[in-house]
Homo-oligomer: A and B are copies of this chain.
Amino acid sequence: MSFERVAIIGLGLLGGSIGLAVREYLGEIETTGYDRDPATRTRAAARGLVGTVCETASEAVRGADLVIFCVPPGAMADAATEIAGTLPEGALVSDVGSCKQSVAEALATALPNNPVIPAHPVAGTENSGPDAGFATLFRNRWCIVTPPEQTNLVLLSELVTFWEALGANVEIMDARHHDLVLAVTSHLPHLIAYTIVGTASDLEEVTRSEVIKYSAGGFRDFTRIAASDPTMWRDVFLSNKDAVLEMLQRFTEDLTALQRAIRVGDGDALFAQFERTRAIRRSIIAEGQDDARPDFGRSDHDAG
């Protein structure tokens, strides 16, 4: 491994997991970290998320050859500006943001003298904060790296090796295409989940306690992702606006078609739609991106 000292800016779920994974799988690398929230720094030090928790971002990046920004997309520009004077020349700048075009631009603008290669590990849980991370978060998950044009291929290969060492499968992708793919596989699902959980909270005829009680009928599956970090998701939707609005438009058209089928009682149209969606589930399980146990093994757990 060519990196000797990795600085992690932002010590929440992702930053903390990177720190723990580096300690687990790349023990020879020194890690430093910083979070602007003092309480997070205290917890990060207590859990040993990085070797040294620093009091300032500048201190954290001193001597680093790789700095990874693990802050919400909207906070990237400020966080990068904060270290502009201290970051060693030649140190590689990367991140874990869910939108890549806007983040790439923010980092390149703030740190014009350093190489920037954005990355996005497609991994996470609904929990956030310094207590949420764990070393195996990236195992068997994809990490999408979106190198700008004219990226130094040696640096790129070093970043790929780093992520592979943490257990991820790496894919190289154009930033624009990344933003489109993630709009459908991640951003739109989150938007819809947030919406339906909100809708269910606002009914007059059905109480909130009834919604909670009978959530096992399907609703609860949406609440998991609707419990994700609000700041991060606000930034995602603002940063990847065009792709999200495009996907949302398509979703709305499809929903309208099903709505019409229900209204006119077109059972064949409903059946045809419901039948074809099963295949995707099977593929996701076959590729190891989800758990095949019925109910994700919830039933086993309940029965225990």
Interface of A toward B, CB cutoff 8 Å: 74, 98, 122-127, 132, 134, 136-137, 139-142, 144, 171, 177, 180-182, 184-203, 205-206, 208, 210-228, 230-231, 233-235, 237-238, 241, 244-245, 247-248, 250-252, 254-255, 258-259, 262-263, 265, 267, 270-271, 273-278, 280-284, 287-291, 293-299, 301-303
Contact = CB atoms under 8 A, between A and B. Distances in A.
Nearest to A136: B303
Contacts of A126: 281, 294-295
Copies of this chain in its oligomeric complex: 2
Given A142-B213, A189-B222, A262-B241, A250 B199 contact: yes
A257 to B, nearest CB: 9
A254 to B, nearest CB: 5
A271 to B, nearest CB: 5
Q: Closest 6 A-B residue pairs measured CB to CB?
A: A186-B217, A125-B294, A230-B274, A189-B218, A227-B281, A136-B303
Contacts of A299: 125, 134, 136-137
Contacts of A220: 284, 289-290
Q: Majority SS of interface residues in chain A?
A: helix
A280 B211 contact: yes
A238 B262 contact: yes
User: Which residue of A144, A250, A295 has the most chain B CB atoms within 10 A of its CB atom?
Assistant: A295
A248 B289 CA distance: 30
Given A195-B258, A214-B181, A294-B125, A238 B267 contact: yes
A49 to B, nearest CB: 16
Contacts of A252: 252, 255
B190 A218 contact: yes
A277 B197 contact: yes
Contacts of A193: 218, 221, 277
Given A192-B192, A212-B284, A217 B296 contact: no
Given A245-B259, A255-B195, A302 B184 contact: no
Contacts of A182: 214, 217
Contacts of A234: 267, 270-271, 274
A223 B284 contact: yes
